[in-house]
Structure 1
Amino acid sequence: MKIVIVSDTHMPRKGRDLPFLLKKDLMESDLIIHGGDFHTVDVYKEFEEYGELIAVVGNVDRPELQSLLPRKRTIELMGMKIGLVHGDGKGKTTEKRVLEAFDEEQVDVIIFGHSHIPFSRYMKGALLFNPGSPTDKRKLPYYSHGILTIGDTWKIEHQFYK
């Protein structure tokens, strides 16, 4: 199973079109997970055109998306438990906020966004994974998204591009 992980697309404000490599991965994916900040419902619908989409709302998503999507969710895929949250809030680091969001649940991976900074690190027994952004890299040298592959084992990695 190939899962594309993306967050913080901020379209059309930060880009008019999805990058080629992301589109290619989306076309080959079995599932898409988005960590919020689509910005508009049109961008959400564009992702749905590529296949099954599981998403949460981000802090800059328009009201239509805020009424459509939850702030946090947990899914189970092939025996793997995944937490999904955008990660915005006041105080603390983004990583501490996302860990606190799943304090009461045991998850294998927590997927989040908000900072636009690609991140992959085990903390408190869970792998925290931020795919970065495919359209708003801020001061980073590369745009990015993630790929989670689940089979007999699982692996998650970043895809970087200019």
Structure 2
Amino acid sequence: MRIIVVSDTHMPKVRRGLPEILKEDLKKSDLIIHAGDFQTLDVYNEFMEYGELVAVVGNVDDPDLQALLPQKRIIMKKGLRIGVVHGDGMGKTTEKRALEAFQPDEVDLIIFGHSHIPYSRYMKGSFLFNPGSPTDKRKLPYFSHGVLTIEDTWKIEHKFYR
């Protein structure tokens, strides 16, 4: 199973379209996970055209998306419990807010966004992963998204591009 992990697309405010490298990965995916900040319902619908989409709302998503999407969710794929949350809020780091969103739930992997900073690390028994942003790299030298592969075991990695 090949899952494309993305967050913080912020379209059309920051960029008018998805990068070709991301589009190619979306075409080859079995599932897409988006950790919020699409910005508009049109962008959400664009992701839906590529296949099955699991998403949560982000802090800049318009009212239509706020009415449609949950703040967090837990899904199970091939025995892997995946928590998805945007990670915005007050106080603490984005990583700590993402981790706390799933306490006391037991999840293997937490996917979050908000900071636009790629992140990949174990913390308190869960693996935390922020795919970065494919459209708004802020001060970083690269754009990014994630690829989660689940076979007998699972692995998740960043794909970086300019």
TM class by smaller structure: over 0.9
Which residue matches 1:53?
53
Residue 127 of structure 1 pairs with residue 107 of structure 2? no
Stretches (4+) displaced over 2 A: none
SS of corresponding position for 1:76 = strand
Q: CA deviation at 1:86?
A: 0.1
TM-score, structure 2 as length reference: 1.00
Which residue matches 1:108?
108
- Paired residues for 1:59-138 under 5 Å: 59-138=59-138
Q: Deviations over 1:118-143 (max 9, x none)?
A: 00000001000000000000000000
Q: CA deviation at 1:5?
A: 0.1
CA distance in 1, matches of 2:17, 2:64: 21
Which residue matches 1:157?
157
Q: Deviations over 1:1-25 (max 9, x none)?
A: 0000000000001110100110000
Which residue matches 2:22?
22
- Paired residues for 1:33-48 under 5 Å: 33-48=33-48
Which residue matches 1:144?
144
Unpaired segments of 5 or more residues in structure 1?
Answer: none
The CA RMSD over aligned residues, in Å, is: 0.3
Supply the AA of the counterpart residue of 1:116: H
Identity of aligned residues (%): 73
Residue 7 of structure 1 pairs with residue 11 of structure 2? no
Supply the AA of the counterpart residue of 2:142: Y
Q: CA deviation at 1:104?
A: 1.1
Unpaired segments of 5 or more residues in structure 2?
Answer: none
SS of corresponding position for 1:18 = coil
Aligned length: 162
CA distance in 1, matches of 2:94, 2:16: 27
CA distance in 2, matches of 1:56, 1:71: 6
